[in-house]
């Protein structure tokens, strides 16, 4: 007899068939990777979009190269440019987008296995994604320390420095180092738990990648860890990484918000999603 065909081997993989596998309970462990593109609609420019991205707008700061603004070696002697743009990067009291809310809805339906975010704005958590389901791979604004002696620094003084665009300095007079938020700069290592969490990608039965150019390792490597045969959905303005190389890839090129609304329509979750977003 013909060997039992691998489940779904003959099924075309597209948004509809992935949605039906979620609805009939065959997909229950969604792993998500988000990047700056999921927060542009919330008012935080991304980094690499031509002209609107941050890296195209740093000329007045006379940096040696755009990414220097987030490099620890540059920050250690010239922290001023980082604080010149901190306010624009800092979430302040921004409302999460419907794309952030879509992740919270996945969690509410016990379908969210884990979210890796490259963003430091914390909007996934603000939208309602449980903290134990999020890894801020590049850190976030929730705390800050002196880059040199690692001494802590008060939140209220940090908020004032961000608001005024002024560099905060270490409170230890003998140190005098500049204080930086606990954001992972280029030249620094990612949180230790990144390695152990990476294994969660192997357990995924769906990978959802949203709003990232997949240009910065090690997050850019996560989609490649997904087991062969597991569907990978990209919701992004442009194709990126190795998306499109696998027959189970679904590339939804366009805005994150349009993409999640289309996905929610396929799932029959649209009203629930809009209501959850309005209530956020
Ligand atoms: N909808 C869908 N895609 C979007 C949207 C949107 N509304 N806005 C932007 N994009 C896409 C862009 O086309 C681009 O492919 O999102 C991607 C954003 O890419 P980047 O600006 O490179 O941001 P990201 O991938 O998160 O950068 C990774 O680089 O500078 C470092 O540490 C920083 O975490 C950041 C890392």
Average pLDDT, the chain: 94
**Atom number of ligand 1 nearest to Cα 67:** 30
* SS3 (DSSP) at 136: strand
> Which pLDDT does position 8 carry in this prediction?
55
Kindly state the DSSP code that residue 251 receives in the 8-state scheme: E
pLDDT above 70 for 251:
yes
Q: How far, in Å, from the CA of 100 to the mean position of ligand 1? A: 15
Q: Could you tell me the sign of the dihedral formed by the alpha carbons of 95, 235, 142, 277, in that order?
A: positive
ipTM metric: 0.99
Q: How confident is the model at residue 2 (pLDDT cuts 50, 70, 90)?
A: very low
Query: Tens digits of per-residue pLDDT, 56-105?
Result: 999 999 999 999 999 999 999 999 999 999 988 887 889 999 999 999 99
39 assigned to a ligand binding site: yes
Q: Decide if 177 contacts 170 (C-beta within 8 A).
A: yes
Query: Tens digits of per-residue pLDDT, 117-147?
Result: 999 999 999 999 999 999 999 999 999 999 9
pLDDT above 80 for 244:
yes
> Which pLDDT does position 259 carry in this prediction?
98
Q: From the CB of 49, is ligand 1 less than 6 Å away? A: yes
> Which pLDDT does position 11 carry in this prediction?
81
Q: How confident is the model at residue 1 (pLDDT cuts 50, 70, 90)?
A: very low
Q: How confident is the model at residue 9 (pLDDT cuts 50, 70, 90)?
A: low
C-alpha distances out from residue 257 to 22, 38, 177, 235, Å: 20, 8, 41, 9
Pocket test for ligand 1, best of 42, 47, 221 (most atoms within 8 A of CB): 47
């Amino acid at each position: 007899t013909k060997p039992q065909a691998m489940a779904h081997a003959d099924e075309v993989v597209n948004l509809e068939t992935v949605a039906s596998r979620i609805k009939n309970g065959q997909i229950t462990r969604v792993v998500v990777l988000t990047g700056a593109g999921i927060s542009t609609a919330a008012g935080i420019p991304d980094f690499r979009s031509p002209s609107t991205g941050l890296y195209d707008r740093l000329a007045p700061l006379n940096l040696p190269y755009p990414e220097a603004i987030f490099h620890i070696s540059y920050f250690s002697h010239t922290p001023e440019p980082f604080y010149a743009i901190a306010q624009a990067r800092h979430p302040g009291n921004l409302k999460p987008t419907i794309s952030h809310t879509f992740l919270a809805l996945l969690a509410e339906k016990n379908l969210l296995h884990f979210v890796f975010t490259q963003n430091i704005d914390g909007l996934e958590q603000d939208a309602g994604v449980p903290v134990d389901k999020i890894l801020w791979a590049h850190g976030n604004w929730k705390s800050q320390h002196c880059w040199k002696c690692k001494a802590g620094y008060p939140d209220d003084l940090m908020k004032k420095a961000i608001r005024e665009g002024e560099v905060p300095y270490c409170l230890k007079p003998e140190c005098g180092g500049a204080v930086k938020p606990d954001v992972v700069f280029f030249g620094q290592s990612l949180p230790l738990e990144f390695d152990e969490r990476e294994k969660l990608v192997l357990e995924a039965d769906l990978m959802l990648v949203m709003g990232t150019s997949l240009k910065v390792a090690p997050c850019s490597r996560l989609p490649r860890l997904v087991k062969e045969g597991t569907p990978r959905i990209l919701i992004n303005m442009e194709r990126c990484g190795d998306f499109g190389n696998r027959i189970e890839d679904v590339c939804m090129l366009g805005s994150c918000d349009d993409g999640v609304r289309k996905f929610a329509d396929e799932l029959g979750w649209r009203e629930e999603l809009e209501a959850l977003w309005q209530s956020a």
